[in-house]
Chain A
Amino acid sequence: QKEVEQNSGPLSVPEGAIASLNCTYSDRGSQSFFWYRQYSGKSPELIMFIYSNGDKEDGRFTAQLNKASQYVSLLIRDSQPSDSATYLCASLFGNEKLTFGTGTRLTIIP
């Protein structure tokens, strides 16, 4: 069974610092990985996806993928209070459905 694991948190980070969110996955055949942000009472919003080993940067966000260790992370630089949300990691194998982790609740402290 494909599983994606995340630390549920809550993770508290001071404003302006780097927030680091981690995720591991069990299916070595997973090919693509996604980070979604979900504010309370809202639906998830796609932030980034990554499918190659290494780093992928988009503004203040950097996704990192290490397929050998089956590990995905999301770094948020210069954290803002508006980054406070639950972050969902998901993996995709081929054209199948996304497998979601349970999410990490992030709080940015002003």
Chain B
Amino acid sequence: GAVVSQHPSRVICKSGTSVKIECRSLDFQATTMFWYRQFPKQSLMLMATSNEGSKATYEQGVEKDKFLINHASLTLSTLTVTSAHPEDSSFYICSARHTGRSYEQYFGPGTRLTVT
């Protein structure tokens, strides 16, 4: 149980294009999901918190117009990187908080984005 999937696992795109990443909780409901970014050999950096049916809360320094988050259902959140640039290349990881057991938070396998 407690499986979170992400799609795609790896994506290469050209500078200026947009990329959408999906995060799904497969066997539990997640009212709250989180999006992180991690650069090589660095710590996880929380980008935003998304709650089902409401606007995401972005961390300081994260551009909400560049990183669009939609949490349309209790099992799906999406992150769209708009007008991607090479500096957006990173490992994007989502996590989902179990609605019934809020102290449990599970991570998806991550999406490696490369912008050329």
Contact status A95-B110, CB under 8 Å: no
Q: Give complex CA distance A97, B107 in Å.
A: 13
Q: A97-B34, A97-B49 are in contact. Are A43 and B110 (CB under 8 A)?
A: yes
Chain B residue at minimal CB-CB distance from A44: B107
Chain B residue at minimal CB-CB distance from A92: B103
| Closest chain B CB from A102 CB (angstroms) | 5
Q: Give complex CA distance A41, B93 in Å.
A: 11
Of the candidates B43, B49, B103, B107, the one whose C-beta lies within 8 Å of that of A51 is B103
Number of interface residues of A (CB under 8 A): 19
Number of interface residues of B (CB under 8 A): 18
| Closest chain B CB from A46 CB (angstroms) | 6
- Write out, one digit per residue, whether chain B residues 30-65 have a CB within 8 A of any chain A CB (1) or not (0): 000010000000011010010000000000000000
Q: Give complex CA distance A51, B108 in Å.
A: 24
Q: Does A60 contact B (CB under 8 A)?
A: no
Those 4 A-B pairs whose CB atoms lie nearest each other, nearest first: A43-B110, A43-B107, A32-B103, A102-B43
